[in-house]
Amino acid sequence: MTVSVLPTAAAKLSEPPSIDLAARVRVAMIQTSLLEAAIPTAYVAASDVASEPPLLLIHGFDSSLLEFRRLLPLLAPRTWAVDLLGFGFSDRALYPDLSPGAIKLHLHSFWQQMIARPMVLVGASMGGAAAIDFALTYPEAVAGLVLLDAAGFAAGPAMGNLMVPPLDSWATAFLRNPRVRRSISRQAYFDKTLVTPDAELCAALHLQCPGWKEALIAFTKSGGYNFLGPKIAQIACPTLVVWGEQDKILGTKDARRFEGAIAGSQLVWIPQCGHVPHLEKPQDTAAAMLAFVDRLA
């Protein structure tokens, strides 16, 4: 298999959902006010760009759009996915400021140039925090919000105090270690058998992109989304909260906190599921999402 957009190691992907999604990844040159040059941005387009409402999937911390390989086909043809600024397979070199503000502006520019109508914004883990931040700033762009075991109340990466030389290089080297990444993956799943070699490759493929270490350091030093908690009650759009009952990464208390803070929100629990319902229980997750989207019509 040849994938020109992704690192050459993508040729080693072995499971059909991974192979199929990798083959659909494209790069758009997104113009922003961040800098004069356009920013190369990895994305997957909806197969029917006229479907209403469109859905846009955004991934978690130190991840990529490949984490939606099992969910996106169940939501077709209306669904897009994008790699956030400084993450996944989007460019890391052009713009060194990877604060939440820069990420949000870049995401809005992507929405303006590629979608340009109200969407259902779907955020997983840290992507949930990014989705909340976006929805609060650009409510006209968001018809609905789906939070998949989302950050927002939870504190950001605990490595912030380590991101000074030489500790920053040691911290990122620790995160790059395959054994460490495998341990994190096993903690994220309730069903450990899903941590296959293909799943591990999907979770690590973006590490081969230039600037991974520098981007991770820059984002972590920015403080991430630690400012977001007090603002969550301001969300005004219809919101669905989907949460794995056995989430060992964020726990389960924040699911109820989101439900209580966001007026009119709906909480759906996914049984026998960890932190990644879109990977572990994609059928159940898609069913909850599609029912939510149908109610928006």
Comparing CA positions, the residue from 185, 190, 56 lying closest to residue 116 is: 56
CATH classification of the domain holding 26: 3.40.50.1820
User: Are residues 126 and 60 in contact, defined by beta-carbon separation less than 8 angstroms?
Assistant: yes
pLDDT, tens digit, 9 for 90 and up, residues 79-116: 999 999 999 999 887 777 889 999 999 999 999 999 99
Q: E-assigned strands of the chain?
A: 26-30, 39-44, 55-58, 79-82, 119-124, 142-148, 239-244, 266-270
Q: Residue 239: which domain range?
A: 8-296
Q: Are the beta carbons of 66 and 22 closer than 8 angstroms?
A: yes
- Say if residue 13 is exposed, middle or buried (CB neighbours under 10 Å; 0-12, 13-18, 19+): buried
The answer to whether residue 136 is domain-embedded is yes
pLDDT of residue 170: 59
- Residue 207 in tokens: 């590490």
144 vs 121: CA distance, rounded Å: 6
- Each residue's pLDDT tens digit, 107-166: 999 999 999 999 999 999 999 999 999 999 999 999 999 999 999 997 655 444 444 444
3 located within any domain: no
Q: What is the pLDDT along the chain (297 residues), one digit of tens a residue?
A: 334 689 999 999 999 999 999 999 999 999 999 999 999 999 999 988 777 899 999 999 999 999 999 999 999 899 999 999 999 999 887 777 889 999 999 999 999 999 999 999 999 999 999 999 999 999 999 999 999 999 999 765 544 444 444 445 657 777 888 888 889 889 999 999 999 999 999 999 999 999 998 898 889 888 899 999 999 999 999 999 999 999 999 999 999 999 999 999 999 999 999 999 999 999 999 999 999 999 997
- Three-class SS state of 182: helix
Q: Looking at the domain assignment, is residue 15 inside a domain? A: yes
The count of structural domains within the chain is 1
Helices and strands (H, E) in the chain, number of each type: 11, 8
pTM over 0.75: yes
* Residue 92, strand partner residues: none
User: In 3D, which of 118, 42, 134 has the Cα closest to residue 84?
Assistant: 42
Q: Which residue has the tokens 């996915």?
A: 81
Is 45 contained in some domain?
yes
Instruction: Please indicate, yes or no, if residue 1 is contained in any of the structural domains.
Output: no
What CA–CA distances, in Å, run from 67 to 127, 156, 204, 280, 282?
11, 20, 11, 11, 11
- Show the tokens assigned to 163: 């991101």
Closest CA to 119 of 152, 150, 137, 146: 146
Q: Is residue 2 part of a domain?
A: no
152 within some domain? yes
**Which token pair is 69?**
């390989």
Q: What are phi and psi of 266, to 5 degrees?
A: -120, 135
Distance of CA 87 to the CA centre of its chain: 9
Q: Which helix (H) or strand (E) holds 109?
A: helix 100-114
242, β-bridge pairs: 148, 268
